């Protein structure tokens, strides 16, 4: 039986090429781990460690997907998400957002959807679960 990390096939690795993912996460080790896993699958990954930098990076680079923590310094993840969804730039508005956070109450999950997150996962998480969500959100991944 394959472990969750072995379920990712070479076909999935090939299809991930050139898809750009921005990780906005203030915990360096969590960001680094996730970044390495995604890079190994062929994604182009960048990271920001606070909400203000993440929002700036998103507006300048227009990634294909944003993985966003809620508890961030300088600008909370909720505000980052709302700013992107309320932007006048249609390209920014359409960027899929996965909230990946330690906040696991039903209120937080509902709030995440209301402010525009495409998916909401709580920590701790299985990478295979996150990758399943990425495949659903990003066509061709």
Is residue 66 situated within a structural domain? yes
Mean pLDDT of 67-96: 94
Counted domains in the chain: 1
**pTM of the model as a whole:** 0.86
Domain at 24, CATH number: 3.40.50.2300
State phi, psi for 34 to the nearest 5 degrees. -65, -40
Give the domain extent around 44.
Answer: 9-136
Is pLDDT above 80 for 2? no
Give CA separation, 12 vs 16, 19, 39, 51, in Å.
Answer: 6, 12, 12, 30
pLDDT (mean) for 55-76? 96
The DSSP element (H or E) to which 126 belongs, if any, is: none
Mean residue pLDDT across the chain: 88
Arithmetic mean of pLDDT, 2-29: 70
- State residue 62's pLDDT score: 96
């Amino acid at each position: 039986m394959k472990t969750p990390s072995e379920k990712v096939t070479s076909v999935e690795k090939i299809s991930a090429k050139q898809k750009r993912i921005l990780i906005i996460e203030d915990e360096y080790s969590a960001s680094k781990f996730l970044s390495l896993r995604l890079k190994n699958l062929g994604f182009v990954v960048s990271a920001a460690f606070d909400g203000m930098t993440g929002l700036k990076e998103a507006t300048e680079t227009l990634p294909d997907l944003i993985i966003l923590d809620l508890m961030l310094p300088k600008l909370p993840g909720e505000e980052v998400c709302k700013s992107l969804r309320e932007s006048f730039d249609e390209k920014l508005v359409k960027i899929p957002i996965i909230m990946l956070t330690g906040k696991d109450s039903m209120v937080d999950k509902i709030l995440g959807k209301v402010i525009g997150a495409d998916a909401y996962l709580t920590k701790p998480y299985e990478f295979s679960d996150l990758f399943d969500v990425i495949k659903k959100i990003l066509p061709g991944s």
